Amino acid sequence: MRVSSIVSVLSGLHATSCVAADDSWPWQTYKSSAFEPPNLKITKSGPTAPGYLFFDQSWDAHQYSVFMMSDENELIWQSPFGDLKDFRVQMLDGKPVLTYFNGIGIPEPFGWGYGIIQVFDQSYQSIYNVSLLCDNYTAVGTVDSSSFVSWLDIHESTMTSDNTMLLTGYNVTRADLSSVGGPKHGWIADSLFYEIDVKTNDILFRWSAKDHVDQISLEDVQPFYPINDWGYNSSAPYGYFHINSVEKFQDGSFLISSRYYCSLFKIAKDGTVDWTLQGQTGGDFSLDGVNFAYQHDARIQEETEDKLIISIFDNANSDVENGTDHTEGIFMNVNMDKKKVTPFRLLDDSSDEIFSVSMGAVQALPGDHVLIGYGSNPKFKEYNADGSPVMTVQFGEDGVVSSYRAYRHPWVGIPNTAPDAFACNDASHNTTNVYMSWNGATEVKEWKVFGGITQSGLPPVGVAPKTGFETRASVKGGLKYVRVEAHGRGITTGVSKTVHVQAQC
């Protein structure tokens, strides 16, 4: 299926998944653009790492989009509307690209999705759609999947240095649940992960939790996610495993995180389970000063032959158990010789205790800074090398808005689209007010304004330094037509359409 066809079909799915917006949180508006990003509540107490803030909005958000914003609450780039997740910068062929999930999200108590992963270049052009077109999938029974063109899930889209991507999927299928008190001919949401070639969509590796119940038994998950009344039909499948992240070891094996087993698993290249790190009992390890539950975003930070440093977002809360232990970012030493796990860094803000029941991420930054996105809580925080919070950002009402993951990345964007302009006459001051913006343009230093009483041969009438996402310039006299030009490093286009000046501001 062609790229345009995939995007068209998935755009139709967005309307079914986006709920009515809650408008209690303030948002920003512009004259030259229809974008309405959240008004970030930013508290800073120290220097932060370089880069912009990357996040999505869901639940009852004012606008379903992904956002790139600055520490100064300025929009840098906003996507078109959609149920989009996991927005970040990654490397492809040695060049930075943007990636995010685009599809339909199935809300809790399920918490997965169906869609594609889009890859964009530095001009914001979609260059690849990573998709899973056929693997005998069945959707949850409450969803009409007749128009689905890809079955990839929201939980993972990590690029490797081999130009492959690690991805997850959820397949509703039959399973024998009698060993845990469920129906013999029951239904589960099987968790799968893949390694897929970004450019060809070829499946290079496939793993299914259902295929390995001999090593990861249904009995082991009962203390953390009991079967109760799940599994009797395809509309209420037992989603016992709930995979939510995938990483790759140097030897080609994989580290995966299971939310409901409260466990990390090392999966060998033949698909077997090498070891289990269980957050409450230890599994194949002993725990000394570390425990976790219902975690997300397990990442390999350092790897040697006998030692690992793994970071996780420790939710410690879920739809099963919540309000007991606060959420934190954990970096843990995993001693492979002694099979012992000890803390390396434990990150939380004692002045702002958070209990996240789902989602979330931990990102290691330069200078030993760490950015934590709190998932179901509409916040992210940056911690410095001493473990002190130096920035807190809130973008919605607690319990109303969420973000699957948040990141900080440097980024240079030079769009191949034209800037936007709006102008209106202020007769009382005999001026024309000109508003100009260029979604995604990071290199603009100044704007040149051209105006006149006819559309052709517009002379220069003003210059204004860029002051934010939208820059305003006041030009003497009553103009009828205006166009603007963006100037800065690497910009060779950056010319807006000629716009008619509105009669009054």
CATH, domain 420-500, list 3.30.43, 2.60.40, 3.40.50, 3.40.190: 2.60.40
How many alpha carbons fall within 13 Å on the CB side of residue 471? Answer: 25
Beta strands in 45-82 (DSSP E): 52-56, 58-59, 66-69, 75-78
Using the predicted structure, report yes or no on whether residue 10 has a pLDDT greater than 50. Answer: no
Cα angle 213, 214, 215; round to 5: 90
- Rounded distance, CA 358 to CA 337, Å? 33
- Rounded distance, CA 195 to CA 168, Å? 9
- Rounded distance, CA 13 to CA 247, Å? 29
The residue type at 288? D
- Given CA atoms 112, 440, 71, 37 in this order, what sign does their dihedral have? negative
User: How much is the pLDDT for 21?
Assistant: 64
How many alpha carbons fall within 13 Å on the CB side of residue 195? Answer: 20
Q: Are strands 444-452 and 431-437 parallel, antiparallel or unpaired?
A: unpaired
Per-domain boundaries in the chain? 41-409, 420-500
User: How much is the pLDDT for 5?
Assistant: 31
Mean pLDDT of the region 188-208: 98
Using the predicted structure, report yes or no on whether residue 196 has a pLDDT greater than 70. Answer: yes
- Rounded distance, CA 115 to CA 128, Å? 14
Q: Where does the pLDDT of residue 22 fall: very low under 50, low under 70, confident under 90, or very high at 90 and above?
A: low
Tokens of residue 502, six digits? 């509105």
Same fold, 41-409 and 420-500: no
User: How much is the pLDDT for 65?
Assistant: 95
pLDDT cut 90: percent of the chain above it: 91
User: How much is the pLDDT for 18?
Assistant: 40
Nearest to 363 by CA among 158, 162, 193, 160: 158
User: How much is the pLDDT for 6?
Assistant: 32
- Beta bridge mates, 196: 165, 203
DSSP code, position 159: E
Mean pLDDT of the region 400-427: 97
Using the predicted structure, report yes or no on whether residue 3 has a pLDDT greater than 80. Answer: no
Mean pLDDT of the region 275-295: 98
Our measurement of the distance from residue 70's CA atom to the centroid of its chain's CA atoms, rounded to an integer in Å, reads 16
Using the predicted structure, report yes or no on whether residue 4 has a pLDDT greater than 70. Answer: no
pLDDT tens per residue across span 216-244: 999 999 999 999 999 999 999 999 999 99
pLDDT tens per residue across span 452-500: 999 989 999 999 999 999 999 999 999 999 999 999 999 999 999 999 9
CB 180 within 8 A of CB 148: no
- Rounded distance, CA 177 to CA 175, Å? 6
pLDDT tens per residue across span 432-454: 999 999 999 999 999 999 999 99
User: How much is the pLDDT for 13?
Assistant: 36
- Beta bridge mates, 245: 257
CATH topology of domain 41-409: Neuraminidase (2.120.10)
Using the predicted structure, report yes or no on whether residue 289 has a pLDDT greater than 60. Answer: yes
Peptide bond into 109 cis (omega under 30): yes
DSSP code, position 180: G
DSSP per-residue letters across 406-446: EEEE------SSPPEEEEEEEGGGTEEEEEEE-TT---EEE
User: How much is the pLDDT for 321?
Assistant: 87
User: How much is the pLDDT for 57?
Assistant: 94
Mean pLDDT over each residue of the chain, to the nearest integer:
94
**What is the reported pTM?**
0.94
Mean pLDDT of the region 61-71: 95
User: How much is the pLDDT for 19?
Assistant: 44
CB 117 within 8 A of CB 136: no
Using the predicted structure, report yes or no on whether residue 276 has a pLDDT greater than 90. Answer: yes
- How are strands ordered across the β-sheet holding 460-465? 460-465, 444-452, 481-488, 499-500
- Beta bridge mates, 440: none
pLDDT tens per residue across span 312-350: 999 999 989 887 899 999 999 999 999 999 999 999 999
Distances 8 to 1, 14, 57, 120, 268 between C-alpha atoms, Å: 11, 10, 21, 17, 38
User: How much is the pLDDT for 394?
Assistant: 98
| Count of beta carbons in the 10 Å neighbourhood of residue 51 | 18
- Rounded distance, CA 227 to CA 222, Å? 7
Using the predicted structure, report yes or no on whether residue 52 has a pLDDT greater than 50. Answer: yes
Q: Where does the pLDDT of residue 505 fall: very low under 50, low under 70, confident under 90, or very high at 90 and above?
A: confident
Using the predicted structure, report yes or no on whether residue 271 has a pLDDT greater than 70. Answer: yes
How many alpha carbons fall within 13 Å on the CB side of residue 297? Answer: 26
The residue type at 35? F
User: How much is the pLDDT for 9?
Assistant: 33
